[in-house]
Amino acid sequence: MPRDHDRDHDCDRGHDHGRAVGVRNGYARTVCASIVSVADLTVELGGNPVLRGMALTVSPGEVVAVVGPNGSGKSTLLRCLAGLQPVTSGVVRVFGEPPADDSAFWRRVALLNEEPAWYPGLTAREHLELMGAVHAETRMTVEAALEVFALVERADAAPLNLSTGQRQRLALASTLLRPSTLLLLDEPERGLDTGFRGRLGDLLGDYASAGGTVVMATHDDRLAARARQISPSGVAA
Ligand SMILES: Nc1ncnc2c1ncn2[C@@H]1O[C@H](COP(=O)(O)OP(=O)(O)OP(=O)(O)O)[C@@H](O)[C@H]1O
């Protein structure tokens, strides 16, 4: 789980998005006023404007659902926040900095968009173990992740031998097992049954209650209803 200690250091002092909130152990604590800050964002793809002058601010501990019809720009926005989509104009800040596809950024940000590339020959459990092995601390143990994501009985199966929903649960387990303070999720409900979609809503609520921040694109009305809803134009939906 994200700890206060981590949050205290998620923003460097000296950036104007941070504010000192007190003194502890002789050091002024600074917390982010916003985790995500987008202003006047325009993205053109293939010569067509997909996002037009969008504004968005996301505070620590918020769950934000980007909602809208197919093709409205939800995935494009998430890709901008992940630093994977060059912007045409405007400003995108994540933790007070332009998102950069580098290790410092990905230590704090966990992204789930397309289906991950599964390693041939590794089981579901081994995929989670691999994720655990590359991070000094994880948010949960592999066994806990298998329990939470209802994969215990299929733990020794290769991902490609899982059902679509089971593979999505494995992808989510991987994303939520690793440490992060910002989750960027593109249609996390994809392939999940109704019961597990409700469970996912609980898990994202727990993540935010522990100080994490979630921005997701979703077509699931119930998942969206538990979040602050915005459209890719940036207005409340
Ligand atoms: N590489 C590209 N080149 C040109 N246009 C693109 C490209 N990628 C996406 N688009 C277009 O940009 C628009 C926004 O796409 P985007 O994937 O962000 O929509 P979305 O809201 O996530 O849709 P969905 O609900 O179907 O996932 C669409 O009209 C899409 O056709």
Could you read off the pLDDT of 121-152 as tens digits, one per residue?
999 999 999 999 988 889 999 999 999 999 99
Mean pLDDT on 72-101: 95
- Going by CA atoms, what residue is nearest to atom 18 of ligand 1? 73
Q: What's the ipTM?
A: 0.97
User: For a pLDDT cut of 70, what percent of the chain falls above it?
Assistant: 86
- Dist. CA 144–CA 140, nearest whole Å: 6
Number of domains in the chain: 1
Atom 10 of ligand 1: nearest residue by CA position: 45
Of 52, 67, 74, best ligand 1 pocket probe by most atoms within 8 Å of the beta carbon = 74
pLDDT at 227: 97
CB atoms within 10 A of CB 221: 10
Q: Which residue has the higher pLDDT, 101 or 69?
A: 69
Instruction: Give nearest CA residue, ligand 1 atom 5.
Output: 45
Residue 106: give the domain boundaries: 4-230
Which pLDDT does position 18 carry in this prediction? 40
Examine the pLDDT at 15 and tell me if it is beyond 60: no
Distance (Å) from CA 81 to ligand 1 centroid: 15
pLDDT at 167: 97
Closest CA to 187 of 174, 197, 176, 195: 197
Q: What is the pLDDT of residue 32?
A: 60
Tell me, in angstroms, the distance from the centre of ligand 1 to residue 195's CA.
29
235 in a structural domain? no
Query: Which atom of ligand 1 lies nearest, measured to the CA of 69?
Result: 25
Residue 67 lies in a domain: yes
Is the pLDDT confidence value at 29 over 60?
A: no
More confidently predicted of 203 and 22 = 203
Read off φ and ψ for residue 123, nearest 5 degrees.
Answer: -80, 175
Using 50, 70 and 90 to split pLDDT, how confident is the model at 9? Answer: very low
Contact 154, 162 (CB under 8 A): yes
- Is 236 a domain residue? no
Q: Express each pLDDT in 143-183 by its tens digit.
A: 999 999 999 999 999 999 999 999 999 999 999 999 999 99
CA of 216 to the centre of ligand 1 (A): 16
How much of the chain exceeds pLDDT 90, in percent? 78
List 185's β-bridge partners, or say none.
Answer: 112, 216
The protein residue with its alpha carbon nearest to ligand 1, atom 31, reads: 71
Instruction: Give the nearest ligand 1 atom to 78 CA.
Output: 18
Pocket residue to mutate for ligand 1, from 66, 75, 79, most atoms within 8 A of Cβ = 75
Q: Please report the pLDDT score of residue 31 as a whole number.
A: 53
pLDDT reported for residue 159:
97
Of all atoms in ligand 1, which is nearest to the CA of residue 217? 22
CATH of the domain at 183: 3.40.50.300
Residue 198 has what DSSP assignment? Answer: H
Q: Considering the domain boundaries, does residue 237 fall inside one?
A: no
Burial of 42 (0-12, 13-18, 19+ CB in 10 A): middle
pLDDT greater at residue 41 or residue 22: 41
Asked if residue 101 lies in contact with residue 84, where contact means CB atoms within 8 angstroms, the answer is: yes
Q: Given this model, what pLDDT does residue 222 score? A: 95
pTM higher than the cut 0.95: no
Is 187 part of a structural domain of the chain? yes
In a domain, residue 190? The reply is yes
The pLDDT confidence band at residue 21, using thresholds 50, 70 and 90, is very low
Residues with CB under 6 Å of ligand 1 are 45-46, 50, 68, 70-76, 217
> What is the per-residue pLDDT for 114?
87
